[in-house]
A and B are shown apart, each in its own frame.
Chain A
Amino acid sequence: MSARATFATARRVLWQIRRDPRTVALLIGVPSGMMFLLKLVLEDREATFQFIGIPLLGLFPLISMFLVTSITMLRERSTGTLERLMTMPISKLDVLAGYGLAFGLLAVLQGAVVSAVGFGLLGLDANHPILVVIGLAVANALLGMSLGLSLSALARTEFQAVQFMPAIIFPQLLLCGLLVERSQMSPVLEAISNVLPMTYAYDALDRVATSPELGSEVTTDVVVVIGVTLVALALGALTLRRRTL
């Protein structure tokens, strides 16, 4: 690995995103807009706003980074730039770490803006430092990014890549505990939710929103999120082939 190639890749990905101001505006603006909407919808139900608002705020980056990464990576494969990189003195880890750095930075920005709106303007209150929420949001962003990276290998077209979002993300949103507590689900659904990474991402945010103490469960959640991220990155690395048919 070389730090130079990693940083160059991160810088290049950020350049690409910067060239597309509308995407930047959507990435940064949509989560805040959703928080406003949630506040309006739950006008008289302040308690509900509190315990849905914080997890949602922390899950946004997972969803948006999943989408942006899978499309960026798909383009990298389909335009031949990945093949070109594979003939150059750059390691696959540099490519992956560069992506992680770029999207991680973007997630910090996204998390900071939506936190400023949620906690500053809309009266969310977390019992715990807001930095904890932003930290979880960034970890979730990296989880979304690594899932997007590895799954992009299965997509041939951008249409397919976009459809992975409902296919991969929506079931996890339904099962993670946000809508219905997992203990109230059928044992089968609960068992399925136990192996879905978003369950752990949600659980950590839920505890930050509602528990006075951050116990060892949050640590477990974070370890799972980071673990799945690393496994997905490793799978992603396997899909970056130097030689193809």
Chain B
Amino acid sequence: MAPAIDIRDLHVIRGGRPVLHGIDVAVEPGQVTGLLGPSGCGKTTLMRSIVGVQIVRSGTVRVLGSDAGSPSLRPRVGYVTQAPSTYADLSVRENLRYFAAIEGADGERVDSVLDAVDLTSLADRVVRMLSDGQRARVSLATALLGEPDVLVLDEPTVGLDPVLRRDLWQMFRELASSGATLLVSSHVMDEASECDMLILMREGRIVAVEEPDALRSRTGETDLGQAFLKLIEEPA
């Protein structure tokens, strides 16, 4: 099957410095792919390139067979930024109703998305009054409204409690089994075992692309965090 996301020789310069140095990677459809690496390694930059908001120096980024950021992709790709992007002065429901109108989703969809991220009881609360974790869920809910084929989630579970994290990861798995492609970044490794495939990054380069089990057996570590440390500490 053709990859959902196909990146060839991607170079990105930010603030005058090269941040991505020739990334080549493909993301398979219908899977949860984890994008892991230390903070500052370029995960957000790579995700911005995939959703088409990053100015890139060279290389190609194709998503679902089209160039990243092309208008035909906008209804099909959902993006959750690392910092929750919501209207702080609107209620949860008002936020969702606005984005739903843009995505062409109806009120029922708003309700079901609210339920999926466990925000139904807070629907009429003004976002400013929410905790960081609750606000992150509003941001996530927004990206789910249009039932996108590709979901790009930048550290969606940071600051959430373990129960909620487990529920969200279960939701990610369900979305993937219903055919969506998910790319989820994290700088903590304990979520890696939830992924079908892992992309490990360091300093703007891909270190490894493999399944969690393959990574474990190759490094001889049962703990994925240890396995990753082993990989990034050996000379590139």
User: A residues bordering B, Cβ < 8 Å?
Assistant: 4-5, 7-9, 11-12, 15-16, 19-20, 79-81, 83-90, 242-245
A15 touches B94 (CB 8 A): yes
Which chain B residues (73-119) contact chain A, with CB distance < 8 Å?
74-75, 77, 79, 81, 83-90, 94, 98-99, 101-104
- Give the contacting residue for A89; candidates B74, B86, B126; CB below 8 A: B74
- Please give the distance in Å from B215's CB to the nearest CB on chain A: 31
A242 touches B85 (CB 8 A): no
A12→B83 CA distance, assembly (Å)? 21
Interface centre among B14, B85, B86, B126 (most CB of A within 10 A): B85
Residues of chain B lying within 8 A (CB to CB) of residue A245: 14-15, 54-55
Cβ of B142 < 8 Å from any Cβ of A?
Answer: yes
- Give the contacting residue for B88; candidates A9, A79, A90; CB below 8 A: A79
10 additional contacts, CB 8 Å, given A11-B98, A20-B89, A245-B55? Answer: A8-B98, A15-B94, A16-B89, A19-B89, A80-B83, A80-B84, A88-B75, A89-B71, A243-B54, A243-B55
CB-CB nearest 6 A-B residue pairs: A80-B85, A8-B101, A12-B98, A89-B74, A84-B85, A89-B75
A8 touches B102 (CB 8 A): yes
- Give the contacting residue for A244; candidates B53, B90, B102; CB below 8 A: B53
Cβ of B42 < 8 Å from any Cβ of A?
Answer: no
Interface CB pairs A-B, < 8 A, 16: A8-B101, A9-B98, A12-B87, A12-B98, A15-B90, A79-B86, A79-B88, A81-B85, A84-B99, A87-B51, A87-B79, A89-B74, A89-B104, A89-B146, A243-B53, A244-B53
User: B residues bordering A, Cβ < 8 Å?
Assistant: 14-15, 51-55, 69, 71, 74-75, 77, 79, 81, 83-90, 94, 98-99, 101-104, 126, 142, 146
Residues of chain B lying within 8 A (CB to CB) of residue A80: 81, 83-85
Given contacts A15-B90, A16-B87, contact A242 B102 (CB under 8 A): no
Residues of chain A lying within 8 A (CB to CB) of residue B142: 84
Residues of chain B lying within 8 A (CB to CB) of residue A11: 98
B77 to chain A: closest residue by CB? A87
B54 to chain A: closest residue by CB? A243
B101 touches A5 (CB 8 A): yes
- Please give the distance in Å from A196's CB to the nearest CB on chain B: 33
A218→B74 CA distance, assembly (Å)? 45
Residues of chain B lying within 8 A (CB to CB) of residue A15: 90, 94, 98
- Please give the distance in Å from A233's CB to the nearest CB on chain B: 20
A83 touches B87 (CB 8 A): no
B102 touches A90 (CB 8 A): yes
- Give the contacting residue for B126; candidates A19, A79, A242, A243; CB below 8 A: A19
A7→B102 CA distance, assembly (Å)? 10
Given contacts A84-B142, A242-B69, contact A89 B83 (CB under 8 A): no
A199→B26 CA distance, assembly (Å)? 59
A82 to chain B: closest residue by CB? B85
- Give the contacting residue for B102; candidates A16, A19, A89; CB below 8 A: A89
A20→B128 CA distance, assembly (Å)? 12
- Please give the distance in Å from A125's CB to the nearest CB on chain B: 41
Residues of chain A lying within 8 A (CB to CB) of residue B69: 242-243
A194→B146 CA distance, assembly (Å)? 50
A8→B90 CA distance, assembly (Å)? 14
Residues of chain B lying within 8 A (CB to CB) of residue A20: 89
B128 to chain A: closest residue by CB? A19
B74 touches A87 (CB 8 A): yes
Residues of chain A lying within 8 A (CB to CB) of residue B51: 87
A4→B74 CA distance, assembly (Å)? 16
A10→B84 CA distance, assembly (Å)? 22
Residues of chain A lying within 8 A (CB to CB) of residue B71: 89
- Give the contacting residue for A4; candidates B85, B90, B94, B101; CB below 8 A: B101
A86 touches B103 (CB 8 A): no
- Please give the distance in Å from A142's CB to the nearest CB on chain B: 22
A2 to chain B: closest residue by CB? B102
Residues of chain B lying within 8 A (CB to CB) of residue A244: 53-55
B102 touches A85 (CB 8 A): yes
Given contacts A88-B103, A243-B52, contact A83 B75 (CB under 8 A): no
A243→B15 CA distance, assembly (Å)? 15
- Please give the distance in Å from B45's CB to the nearest CB on chain A: 10
- Please give the distance in Å from B99's CB to the nearest CB on chain A: 7
A81 touches B54 (CB 8 A): no
B49 to chain A: closest residue by CB? A243
Residues of chain A lying within 8 A (CB to CB) of residue B85: 79-81, 83-84
